[in-house]
Amino acid sequence: MSAQSRTEIALITGASAGIGRAFAQQLAPRCKGMILIGRDADKLASVVAELEHADLSITSLALDLTSTEGLTRVMEAIRQKGPVTMLVNNAGFATHGRFAESDLDMEMAMVNLHCNATLALCRAALPYMKDEGRGVVINVSSVGSFFPVKYSAVYGASKTFLNMFSQALQQEVQADGIRVQCLCPSYTRSDFSSREPLAALDQSKVADELWWNAEDIVAGSLAQLDAEEHAVMCLPDDHNRVLAQRGISAQAAGLA
């Protein structure tokens, strides 16, 4: 991918902050066009202003991907502004607390965003990628998808869905020249962890070695995509890979 010269049109959801913003910044030199999606219009405008010096066309849409209207507008943008050759499904949020006492509407909105929106955008973009004979899909999951996450049960479960979907999808589209990556960040210092639904989470209890910044997470993602041997699952480092493997082993033991 790095050898291609500004031929990409990238669509990035959750592009107004954190990992999504870092993807926009680092993909700009590779792209001739971008479609940036975010809920916060002011933050999204800030990202667009930051990239305006680059020689690329930017379409920005401030909307809610959990709504039918929002999702329809993005799918229409794929049709009108494409062909999208890079799709980054990054938009997401988390909750913290006992599921039995949770806001069910919020939990269902999270599943809708992580799972349904990802499915819809992949389905909209893939036919164009197949016509081009190339493309990249990055679905942003989490290290927390590899083991049960107490007090974030729905978050972890929805991210596990992305793991399985991404691996199966890669098997289906590999012959079409399309790469699928499931990016599994660890704790990332960004707006994500400071939002109201996570107010009850004591971040001081999270070990320092588990914290990353968004720029390094994205750099690792793109470096793996540039490698000749492509793995679907992308974790930030050996420490997190060990944690993920322990989670997988624990699940296997539970099924034995």
Rounded to whole angstroms, how far apart are CA atoms 19 and 90?
Answer: 7
Are 138 and 221 in contact, with CB atoms under 8 Å apart? yes
Catalytic pick from 128, 151, 155, 187? 155
Angle CA(147)–CA(151)–CA(157) in degrees, nearest 5? 45
Rounded to whole angstroms, how far apart are CA atoms 144 and 220?
Answer: 18
Active site annotation includes 187: no
Are 198 and 94 in contact, with CB atoms under 8 Å apart? yes
Rounded to whole angstroms, how far apart are CA atoms 232 and 163?
Answer: 9
Measuring CA to CA, which residue among 45, 35, 22, 65 is closest to residue 222? Answer: 22
Residue partners of 225: CB distance under 8 A and separation at least 6: 1, 136, 138, 179, 181
Tokens of 72: 């329809």
How many CB atoms within 10 Å of residue 32? 15
Residue 26's H or E segment, with its range, is: helix 18-27
DSSP type of residue 199:
T
What is the set of active-site residues?
Answer: 155
